[in-house]
A and B are shown apart, each in its own frame.
Chain A
Amino acid sequence: MKLTPEEKEMLNGKHGRAAQKSMEILTTLGDIFEAESMVKVYGVQIAGVSYANLGEAGLEFLNEMAEDGQVKVLTTLNPAGMDRENWQALGIDEEFAKNQNRVIDAFAKMGIITTCSCTPYLIGNTPHYGQHLAWAESSAVCYANSVIGARTNREGGPSALASAITGKTPDYGYHKENNRHGQVLFKINTSINGTDQFGVLGKLIGDKLGALEKKIPYISGIPEASVEELKSFCASVATYGGTALFHMEYITPEYDKYPKPSDLIFEINRDDLERARSELIDEDNEIDFISIGCPHATIHEIANIAKLLKDKKVKKEFWITTARPIKKLADAAGYSEIIENAGAKFAADTCCVVAPIKQRFKGIMVDSAKACYYGRAKNKFKVKLGTMEECIKEATK
């Protein structure tokens, strides 16, 4: 790999231990994936924030990096294992809270903005078309590449941190134009509406791509899609198919930049969607937990929830997971008061995937296909996918 004089200095330890370790990680990855050089990144999103995943060893690594490591570019964090202000009301134990705060303190020491959200693109880590990034968090990676047209590989926790500290990432994979063209065409012959239905479509396409061992779908036949629907689709197709980039005709910015795939074509009809949806609804599900906000809810979604919950009471545990700045916006707009008066709870900074809630509930209802996957696999819940309206109906009945 060809390095600039500054990159060589980092590798030789002239800029400190954290920069040296970071450059070792990045040059090794660059050699493995045959990158010719490094590229400057505009911003970084770091995963591996929940203490439940990191443990003491991960924390020790972060503390070692924080001894002399400082980030060079805009860097934000993935959700933590708890709401940093409201953890007691959500049933998080004190020992966990203490350790979670030690993790966040280590990141803060390095100059990272401790937002703790999977939707950095809604709260200030907002790249534009064509910019290079080093993002972890599979749903945000998919959103950045596809909806924004920025360029990032799917990073892990340590490689994203290494890019934050050096401001660089090896130039391979999705950073290169010739790796960004669609591979499989999916023609949608039915209408798709709502976050839940876009999640179902993500699962359907993700499963199909997995079977074909392909990664980049090109989707046609969708006339319009909201930010919320695309956010849900990204999370789902990344979870089920490992997809980091898709093109959607007339919707995403690079749809006509590369040729439309013409050799691998699949049609998707109403009954295909119904079949995929039925796979996200378990039988004999005693629902005792409803969670909205996977990925983190937008202010528009929260406004809708407030409208639906006005003058009602929820009878089940109900979480709305979102980024702290969006929660503050909801406070100022008066939405939080309506929602909390109805008995629902905000869980900012965290989500139903990373919070330590394994086996705490029997059955979960969500409007997110991604939340179904982790609800089952990680938390051992029975799951039910529905529209947001259906979720609220279930909570208040």
Chain B
Amino acid sequence: MKLIGRKIYKGTAEGQALVTKDGISFYGGVDPDTGEVVEVGHELEGHSVSGKILVFPSGKGSTVGSYTMYRMMKNNTAPAAIVNSDIDTIIAVGCIISEIPCVDKININNIKTGQNLIVNGTEGIVEVK
């Protein structure tokens, strides 16, 4: 199944989907050293986002979150790609400075955790295998 969205940041990545209905705040909500979601009560609390295709509605919280994503890229704990419903500026800027392929305007209800995805950030396409 091919889902057509909007390109946010270029590049292609293949990996396992990690899907949540909750927004994500990288600043304070994700541990940049381990890649683990640490926000109390978050649907993904305790799960690692490292190397995953992270699928969530939108970002939230402090603009420092963009720098946290950059730090994760340097630590090799960043997601392999990001898929959003409606992206916000924090996640968009984080993807650009960290060079994480990213697509938004995707109906994320069509994606389930554990599915294999190919994200083509250059074309704005997400393929569910």
Physical interaction between A and B: yes
Question: Contact size class for B?
Answer: 20 to 34
Among the stretches A55-63, A295-303, A320-328, the one at the interface with B is: A55-63
Given A57-B71, A158-B67; 9 other pairs, CB 8 A cutoff: A25-B93, A28-B9, A29-B93, A32-B89, A32-B92, A48-B64, A55-B67, A57-B75, A156-B90
Could you say which residues of chain A place their CB within 8 Å of the CB of B75? Answer: 57
Question: Contact size class for A?
Answer: 20 to 34
Secondary structure at the A interface, as helix, strand, loop or mixed, is helix
The contact string, 1 if C-beta is below 8 Å from chain B, for chain A 52-88, is 0111111011000000000000000000000000000
**Nearest chain B CB to A60's CB is how many angstroms away?**
6
Which residues does A use to contact B, with CB under 8 Å? Answer: 21, 24-25, 28-29, 31-32, 47-48, 53-58, 60-61, 136, 156-159
CB–CB A159/B70 < 8 A: no
Could you say which residues of chain A place their CB within 8 Å of the CB of B68? Answer: 57
A24, A48, A57, A158: the one contacting B32 at CB < 8 Å is: A57
**Nearest chain B CB to A173's CB is how many angstroms away?**
11
CB–CB A58/B67 < 8 A: yes
B8, B71, B74: the one contacting A28 at CB < 8 Å is: B8
B66, B71, B92: the one contacting A55 at CB < 8 Å is: B71
Secondary structure at the B interface, as helix, strand, loop or mixed, is helix
Could you say which residues of chain B place their CB within 8 Å of the CB of A58? Answer: 64, 67, 70-71
Q: Give A24's nearest chain B residue, CB to CB.
A: B96
- 26 CB contacts below 8 A, A to B, read A21-B97, A24-B9, A25-B97, A28-B8, A29-B93, A32-B92, A48-B64, A54-B67, A55-B67, A55-B71, A56-B71, A57-B32, A57-B67, A57-B68, A57-B70, A57-B71, A57-B75, A60-B74, A61-B67, A61-B70, A136-B63, A156-B89, A157-B63, A158-B67, A158-B93, A159-B93
Could you say which residues of chain B place their CB within 8 Å of the CB of A56? Answer: 71
Could you say which residues of chain A place their CB within 8 Å of the CB of B92? Answer: 28-29, 32
**Nearest chain B CB to A40's CB is how many angstroms away?**
21
